[in-house]
Amino acid sequence: MSLAETLEAGKHEFLEAAGEVSAGQGQVGPGHRGWSAPECIEHVVAVEERYLIWMKDAAAEAPRRDAEREFRLFNLARSRLIKLEAPEAVRPRGRFRTFEEAIEEFQAARNRSIAWAREKGVALYSIGVRHPRFGLLSGAEVVKLMDAHARRHAEQMREIGMEVTRGKEKRVKQGKARKAGFRRDEPDLGEDMVPRREAGWWFSDGDFATIRDRRLQDLEAANLRAATLRVEGSVLERVQLAGGEFGAAVWKDARFVGCDLANVRAHRLTLVRVELIDCRMAGLRSEAAEWQDVLIRNGDGRFAQLQGGKFGSCEFDGCQWEEADLQRADLSGCVLRSSNLGRADLRGARLRDADLRGSEVEGIVVGAGDVQGAIVDAAQAMVFARLLGLRVR
């Protein structure tokens, strides 16, 4: 993928994230936690303009290309887990009057960057820019940094939209009795998708990969590395992705059947209306997991590391979670049916209205307040009583 194509793909992702923010949400920020969506866009535009000026004024350098350094730089800049203080010069100041105006300015700024990258091409590897945080960068590395930065704030806009939506849903539910019980939305999948068994056409050696509206079968794609892996509207059957490493994995309206996801690592792992059936997920790791309407049936999630994950309306049926690290995870309202939680670490987790009935909880690691509000059966209640030092006579 060329540098111009990288910026094109990032533009698509940013506009897609902006599209998930409704007109009303566009003026609403996530409270005390950060900027509003228009402020995010204003900041991104300011950074894009600044980086483009730097590249146009850059001095010639000996050609240098380091794919490994570019990959690390991209993931560092893109990750929302690493807090970076924005310089005063690029902080939002209310430059745009409307959300729509902000979007138009982003498109204009990104189009200028794309045109510059297309004009210069590989010559961008032969100029040097001094970045105040990252030191001497080639022009190509500045392009990767520019794109990573925009994708970082695209993720922030998605968080804003999801938080506002959750707030509305919470207000609707307040004061009402819970009559319907657990509900999970199923994936929205097309019909008559032709099975594919060739790997080359769906995964690029570049930074980004997208699988959209496809049915993939019997593919070997272990140990893949990419900045972003998106799977949308697709079915993957017996696809081997074990050992993959991604800056972000975003899977929406997808079904995985008999897939090997063992030791997959993604800084951010976002699943929306996803089903994982008979999949191997041992050692799955994410520093920022956010799952909504996810079903895992007969899944092997032993030793998974999903600390602090957010799981909304998720259903785990017949899953193995032994020694999984779920500390501080929010499992409120989820169903864990016929699953094994032996030695799983749930300290600090939120389990209110989580239905654990029928699951193995012997040896689970929890604190006294962690199981408050959880739904358990009589046998499980005895186990928790022992864990908490209670004596039932």
Q: Tell me, what CATH number does 76's domain have?
A: 1.20.120.450
144-173 residue pLDDT tens: 999 989 988 888 887 776 665 554 444 444
> Which whole-number Å values give the CA distances from 382 to 76, 245, 386, 388, in the listed order?
46, 41, 6, 10
Does residue 103 sit in the same domain as residue 204? no
323-363 residue pLDDT tens: 999 999 999 999 999 999 999 999 999 999 999 999 999 99
The CA angle 336-339-345, to the nearest 5 degrees, is 80
Query: Using CB atoms within 10 A of its CB, is residue 94 exposed (0-12), middle (13-18) or buried (19+)?
Result: exposed
Beta bridge partners of 129: 137
Residue 187 lies inside a defined structural domain of this protein: no
Q: How many domains does the chain contain in total?
A: 2
φ, ψ of residue 353 in degrees (nearest 5): 65, 10
d(CA 123, CA 139): 8
Mean pLDDT of 23-42: 65
Neighbouring C-beta atoms of residue 356, cutoff 10 Å: 24
Does residue 308 sit in the same domain as residue 165? no
Does residue 159 sit in the same domain as residue 248? no
- The answer to whether the CB of 41 falls within 8 A of the CB of 103 is yes
As given in the structure block, the two tokens for residue 365 are 């690691």
Does residue 199 sit in the same domain as residue 166? no
- The answer to whether the CB of 269 falls within 8 A of the CB of 290 is yes
- At 190 the pLDDT is 79
Percent of the chain with pLDDT over 90: 53
Q: 């081997």: which residue's tokens?
A: 240
The helix/strand/coil state of 300 is strand
Does residue 133 sit in the same domain as residue 211? no
Residue 81 lies inside a defined structural domain of this protein: yes
Mean pLDDT of 8-32: 70
Does residue 153 sit in the same domain as residue 210? no
As given in the structure block, the two tokens for residue 9 are 């793909």
Residue 223 lies inside a defined structural domain of this protein: yes
Percent of the chain with pLDDT over 70: 85
As given in the structure block, the two tokens for residue 10 are 């990032």
Does residue 129 sit in the same domain as residue 64? yes
Does residue 226 sit in the same domain as residue 109? no
Residue 392 lies inside a defined structural domain of this protein: no
**Which range is least confidently modeled, 193-207, 281-295, 302-316?**
193-207
Does residue 310 sit in the same domain as residue 377? yes
- pLDDT band of residue 28 (cuts 50, 70, 90) is very low
The helix/strand/coil state of 270 is strand
Mean pLDDT of 167-180: 43
- At 76 the pLDDT is 76
| pLDDT above 50 (res 7) | yes
- The answer to whether the CB of 315 falls within 8 A of the CB of 295 is yes
Residue 322 lies inside a defined structural domain of this protein: yes
| Domain ranges, residue 161 | 3-173
Domain boundary among 173, 206, 240: 173
196-230 residue pLDDT tens: 766 555 555 456 788 888 899 999 889 988 888 88
Residue 244 lies inside a defined structural domain of this protein: yes
Residue 102 lies inside a defined structural domain of this protein: yes
Residue 185 lies inside a defined structural domain of this protein: no
d(CA 39, CA 29): 9
| pLDDT above 80 (res 366) | yes
